[in-house]
Each structure stands twice: as structure tokens, then as C-alpha cells.
Amino acid sequence: MRRASNDTKRCVACGVCALTCPREAISIFKGCYAVVDESKCVGCGLCEKACPAGTIRVMEVQDGSR
């Protein structure tokens, strides 16, 4: 199972990832950084490819470790 995560300290909150996500699993928190809703994320990797700052990574996670 794959899930996206974001390095909030480096995120520039441009919103490209949120616009790219087909599951609407990403939102911008108070204009500061992107937040991934792991219950919606399917790990497709579109956000990782779209992120101009390179702060989003899609990684393997074990079942039940959300």
C-alpha cells in the first residue's frame, strides 16, 4: 500500500498538488503547507510528480499504519 506524505517545512503551499490529486486528498492548511488526508490517498503519485518544490513523496506503508 502506498501513501503520499509532505515535508511541511519545505512546502511552498503553491497548491499544485491539491489541484492534481484526483481523490481530493490534499488541502492547503492556512496558506502555509499541503496536508495529505491519508484516508483518501491511494498512492497514485500524481502529486509527487507535480510538486515543483519536490516536497511530496509517495512511500510504501504497511496495512493499518495510517
Q: Is the pLDDT of residue 52 over 70?
A: yes
Q: Is the pLDDT of residue 63 over 80?
A: no
What is the gyration radius of the CA atoms in the chain, in angstroms? Answer: 11
Full domain range(s) for residue 45: 2-60
Whether residue 32 lies inside any domain: the answer is yes
Residue 16: the pLDDT is 98
Taking only the tens place, the pLDDT of each residue in 3-39 is 999 999 999 999 999 999 999 999 999 999 999 999 9
CATH number at residue 24: 3.30.70.20
Quick check: 2 and 43 in contact, CB under 8 A? yes
Quick check: 4 and 58 in contact, CB under 8 A? yes
Residue 42: the pLDDT is 97
Whether residue 51 lies inside any domain: the answer is yes
Per the structure, the count of domains in the chain is: 1
